[in-house]
Amino acid sequence: GLESCKHLKVLTLSNNFISHIKGLDGLPISTLNLANNQVEHLYNLDKLPQLQDLVLNNNRVRLLSGLRSCAQMCLLDLAHNRVRHVRQMEFLKDMKHLHTLILVNNPVVQLPFFRLRVLVRLQRLTVLNTMGVSPEEKIKAVNFHGGPESEHKNREAVFRKHFPDDNFVNTLDPFVEPEPEPEVDMVPEFPEPPVPHEFISLVTKSVLDSAALQAVSGKA
């Protein structure tokens, strides 16, 4: 295994038919390339505390909850996967260093207002799907959703200050996110493999032989 590679920083495992991420616990890996594999679940990445760049393009990833503890993440490439819901981005919101997110050729990019819905959740991004993110686009995302920092709220406050007796007319309703709470990828409980029948028979025979030997010794 790789457990003895205590100074391993960059690991490339692309094109290896890998389906599960395991055997890397505690390693100081900062760049992990798992492109072109069969990864579906993002288990055990929380055990890579120094992970900064993760390349997972061309896999089968659908849910992102397994990434929420990757606090040092800077670049995340999920191109050509199966992410369908924009609220999966909420699992990335605590990544204070995340500047690049690639979701090209995921179903999620076909959603209406995809970029604005991602950027309102991930305001630190500078690149989304290989395109740069401008400050103006981030402001537009906030205004579009009508949150407490939106231009709409500021306009309303100014209006009420100067015209307290008039009604403020909201000419642009804020976007209401239609998706439900994001789905969490549950870590499966892998059962212990059954003990082979031959092994049980061998243990039983050993116990019986030991008991018989003790009986003979007692008679002697």
Q: Which domain holds residue 39?
A: 1-133
The whole-number pLDDT of residue 195 equals 44
Is residue 70 domain-resident?
yes
User: Residue 179 is encoded by which pair of tokens?
Assistant: 């998706």
Whether the pTM exceeds 0.85: the reply is no
User: Residue 54 is encoded by which pair of tokens?
Assistant: 């993760």
Q: Do 118 and 160 belong to one domain?
A: no
Which residue, 107, 133, 159, sits at the end of a domain? 133
Q: What angle do CA 177, 182, 188 make, to 5 degrees?
A: 170
- 24 neighbors 45 (Cβ within 8 angstroms): no
Please list, in sequence order, all residues whose beta carbon lies within 8 angstroms of the beta carbon of residue 130, skipping any fewer than 6 positions away: 102, 104
Is residue 152 domain-resident?
yes
The whole-number pLDDT of residue 192 equals 45
Q: Which residues of 58-75 are buried (b: 16+ CB within 10 A; e: fewer)?
A: bbebbbbbbbbbbeebbb
Looking at the chain, list the stretches that DSSP marks H as alpha helix, in order from N- to C-terminal side: 114-119, 135-145, 151-162, 197-219
Sign of CA pseudo-dihedral 38, 43, 48, 52 = positive
Q: How far apart are CA 108 and CA 83, in angstroms?
A: 6
Sign of CA pseudo-dihedral 14, 20, 21, 24 = negative
Which residue, 112, 133, 154, sits at the end of a domain? 133
Q: Do 47 and 152 belong to one domain?
A: no
Q: Which long-range contacts (CB under 8 A, 24 or more apart) does 149-154 make?
A: 150/174
Q: How far apart are CA 37 and CA 61, in angstroms?
A: 10
- 68 neighbors 94 (Cβ within 8 angstroms): yes
What CATH number corresponds to the domain at position 31?
3.80.10.10
- 55 neighbors 77 (Cβ within 8 angstroms): yes
Per-residue pLDDT of the chain (220 residues; tens, 9 = 90+): 687 788 999 999 999 999 999 999 999 999 999 999 999 999 999 999 999 999 999 999 999 999 999 999 999 999 999 999 999 999 999 999 999 999 999 999 999 999 999 999 999 999 999 999 999 999 888 888 776 666 656 656 655 665 677 665 554 566 778 888 899 988 765 444 454 555 445 544 554 555 555 555 555 5
Is residue 187 domain-resident?
no
Tell me the DSSP string of 38-63: ------SGGG-TT--EEE--SS----
**Number of folded domains that form the chain:** 2
